[in-house]
Amino acid sequence: MRILVTGGAGFIGSCVVRHIIKNTNDEVLNLDKLTYAGNLESLNEISENPRYQFQQADICDTDKLEIIFNTFKPTAVMHLAAESHVDRSIDGPAAFIETNIVGTYTLLEATRKYWQSLDESQKMAFRFHHISTDEVYGDLEGTTDLFTEKTSYAPSSPYSASKASSDHLVRAWQRTYGLPTIVTNCSNNYGPYHFPEKLIPLVILNALDGKPLPIYGKGNQIRDWLFVEDHAQALYQVVTQGKVGETYNIGGHNEKQNIEVVKTICKILDELKPQANAQPYENLITFVKDRPGHDLRYAIDATKIERELDWRPQETFETGIRKTVMWYLENLEWCHRVQDGSYQRERLGVNS
């Protein structure tokens, strides 16, 4: 396969690219705008592979997309490019509307134009895989309910509303134009190369620096945690084996309250990297005012992808979070380059 991955320098996208290059014979073109969350250093281990190439481009740039499609000639698109941080969407929603909605529309139209130029067998084999989030479903009131592929949409934040919009566009392009699309909605990802503004890496790095560990509200928000490498494997199974027009929910079967997640990280750090003052890291936990419209509980029912595509997560939360903490301890230089911005300043040498 020749797979065009949008957002391939981001957290999940870079994991997808690494997975494809390391575990298949497919070719990958990574298209990324390189906003603050895009980091090519996350792809160092495969960057010299002859089956990998990178193009800096904005998915809102119609002319650039047309050139990329006509030169690379993909057999599949995996669309991960998105603005994805809820707090940032509250402070500045315009970027989320532009990238997640307008960008997805522009990419769909560029894909449709290219797809219509293919012969019938190539059209049948082509796939457009849109990667989305469980946040489009809103939150769950009960303690036993789960999001299924049939759950009604009820997004709560500008981020989740923009992703819901993009999901609807993708399905409309399938129904109206016949474009062979598939949608996946995933639970909270965690793992190596996660941008340090997100909960798990933020807690790890703040703890190591002896800084407060901020917890929204009481920390009782529940999330289903999915190890990013499990997610990458699931996404590849969907794009290669999934049925056109279908939606697949991808979850980790690991529901945890945020406060549980933070305390687990603290205990692992107490074991692997004790504080110089011998105090437990839990002492750094600080409760802060909850963010507006904060959803209380997300939980994915991943029965469909397990049944139809034989995918199951390989990591439990306990094994995955230990691997994650160990990765950050062993890659503090990567973290510091993100924190001080040096990973961005060196992009001037990147070909666009």
Closest CA to 328 of 265, 286, 258: 265
Hey, which residues does 181 pair with through a beta bridge?
128
CB 334 within 8 A of CB 340: no
CA-based Rg of the chain, rounded to a whole angstrom?
20
Contacts of 256 (CB under 8 A, 6+ apart): 222, 223, 225, 264, 317
Contacts of 279 (CB under 8 A, 6+ apart): none
3-state secondary structure of 221: coil
Long-range contacts of 330-334 (CB under 8 A, 24+ apart): 331/192, 332/208, 334/41, 334/42, 334/193
The number of angstroms, rounded, from the C-alpha of 218 to the middle of its chain's C-alpha atoms is 26
How far apart, in Å, are the Cα atoms of 347 and each of 19, 24, 30, 57? Answer: 24, 28, 15, 13
Catalytic residue (choose from 105, 114, 137, 159): 159
To the query of whether residue 135 is one of the catalytic residues in this protein, the response is yes
Catalytic residue (choose from 134, 230, 295, 315): 134
Query: Vertex 137, ends 14 and 196: CA angle to 5°?
Result: 35
Residue with tokens 């994915």: 300
How far apart, in Å, are the Cα atoms of 135 and each of 85, 141, 179, 198? Answer: 11, 14, 25, 15
**What angle do helix axes 199-208 and 258-272 make, rounded to 10 degrees?**
40
> Active-site residues: which are they?
134-135, 159
